[in-house]
């Protein structure tokens, strides 16, 4: 896995932990949020595009609509609460949200 992708995943994991604690009482993650993190990791790992474009510019659209909506919800909650503006922008660019 590329170093930049790993950094994006760490950002996503932090946001999921923040969201899950508030929404599901997860410590650190409930089963559903862990599934979402693993799903995202798998999508990034399997991305056939090299170099990887932002997902919104990608012709593959590998996220299922339901999973994509779940990630959006996490970002809506956790984005403004994390002092991680730059990594968040990078993640947004990557995922295209």
**Considering beta carbons, is residue 29 or 88 the nearer one to Zn ion?**
29
What distances in angstroms separate CA 36 from CA 22, 30, 50, 51, 53, one per listed residue?
Answer: 16, 10, 24, 24, 21
Q: Could you give the CA distance from residue 82 to residue 26 in angstroms, rounded to a whole number?
A: 18
Least distance from Zn ion to the Cβ atom of residue 50, Å: 32
User: Site for Zn ion (CB under 5 A): which residue of 7, 30, 41, 82?
Assistant: 30
User: Site for Zn ion (CB under 5 A): which residue of 9, 18, 20, 94?
Assistant: 20
24 interacts with Zn ion by CB under 5 A:
yes
């Amino acid at each position: 896995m590329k170093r930049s992708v790993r950094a994006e995943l760490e950002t996503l994991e932090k946001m999921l932990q923040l969201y899950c604690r508030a929404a599901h009482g997860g410590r650190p993650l409930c089963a559903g949020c862990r599934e979402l993190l693993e799903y995202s990791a798998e999508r990034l790992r399997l991305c056939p595009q090299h170099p990887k474009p932002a997902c919104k510019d990608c012709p593959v659209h590998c996220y299922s609509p339901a999973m994509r909506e779940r990630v959006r919800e996490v970002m809506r909650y956790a984005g403004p609460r994390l002092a991680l503006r730059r990594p968040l922008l990078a993640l947004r660019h990557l995922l295209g949200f």
